[in-house]
Amino acid sequence: MKKFGIRTTGLEYIFETIISNYILKNNFKENFIFLEVGSAGCVSMKSFYEIVKETIKHEDWSIQGLDLCEGWSLDWKDINSFDGLTIFKEEELIREGNLNSTLNLTDKPREWVAETFAENSIDICFIDGCHGSKCVYKDFKTVESKIKNGGIVMFHDSGMAEMGTDWQACCSEYINVRKGIHDAGLLNASENTDWQPLADIVGSRVHGLDGNGLFITQKK
């Protein structure tokens, strides 16, 4: 089984299924882009990369990781063990690898998203940066127009069980991902004519493991 990152125990099968089914449905459409907001040690990103590589039938694809220059959970041992990963820091190339996997470090991540991606260009986005409600809302709003019709956004740490745990200094509140999702009008199908909720998965922490939840929505 592939290894994913922080608090993902129990989500391995879901990640693999969501990504590979999406690709299998759209296998011959060119230019597949996956963006991870808050890629930290790139442990999840490496597995996302492997799933895509194993499934896709063309070469026109990329996995883009995004984090802060001094990201809170950057683990350079893990990052350096990702063979082929290209790394940019504030647009400057600091490690040359292949073009299918790129880690982008910047202190203006939302501006970077706004400038880097065309409208309707991203297939799947995994939002896993700051887990305060304001950041989750802003991260979603930053990527919303960049997602293709039929594209998918996954929010990590969205389960009820983890709300109110782990202080998020950036937003001065405890984990409150669900409020960010709610404020974006994504929680209920009836609230939003542009997005369709696909799944609201409870984390394995409710069974005594360490996984948090995952909310998945699809652009109509």
CA distance 96 to 87: 7
CA distance 49 to 51: 6
For the bound state, the minimum distance from the C-beta of residue 128 to ligand SAM, rounded and expressed in Å, comes to 4
Q: Residue 170: which of 74, 68, 97, 96 has the closest Cα?
A: 68
Binding to ligand SAM by residue 35, rule CB under 6 A?
no
Residues 178-217 that bind ligand SAM (CB under 6 A): none
121-152: b or e for each residue (b if 16 or more CB lie within 10 Å)? Answer: ebbbbbbbbbbbbbbbbbbbebbbebbbeebb
Coil, strand or helix at 57: coil
Number of residues forming the site for ligand SAM (CB under 6 A): 24
Between 148 and 156, CB nearer to ligand SAM: 156
Between 35 and 187, CB nearer to ligand SAM: 35
Choosing from 6, 33, 171, 187, the residue that interacts with ligand SAM (CB under 6 A) is 6
Question: Near ligand SAM by CB under 6 A, which window of 15-23, 27-35, 48-56, 127-135?
Answer: 127-135
Question: Exposed, middle or buried by CB within 10 Å (0-12, 13-18, 19+), for 161?
Answer: middle
Question: Near ligand SAM by CB under 6 A, which window of 17-25, 67-75, 81-89, 208-216?
Answer: 67-75
Task: Report whether 151 contacts 142 (CB < 8 A).
Answer: no
Binding to ligand SAM by residue 130, rule CB under 6 A?
yes
Choosing from 109, 151, 203, 213, the residue that interacts with ligand SAM (CB under 6 A) is 109
CA distance 163 to 160: 5
Binding to ligand SAM by residue 38, rule CB under 6 A?
yes
The interaxial angle of helices 43-55 and 12-25, nearest 10 deg, is: 40
Between 72 and 167, CB nearer to ligand SAM: 72
Chain positions contacting ligand SAM, by CB under 6 A? 4-6, 8, 36-41, 43-44, 66-68, 71-74, 109, 128-130, 135
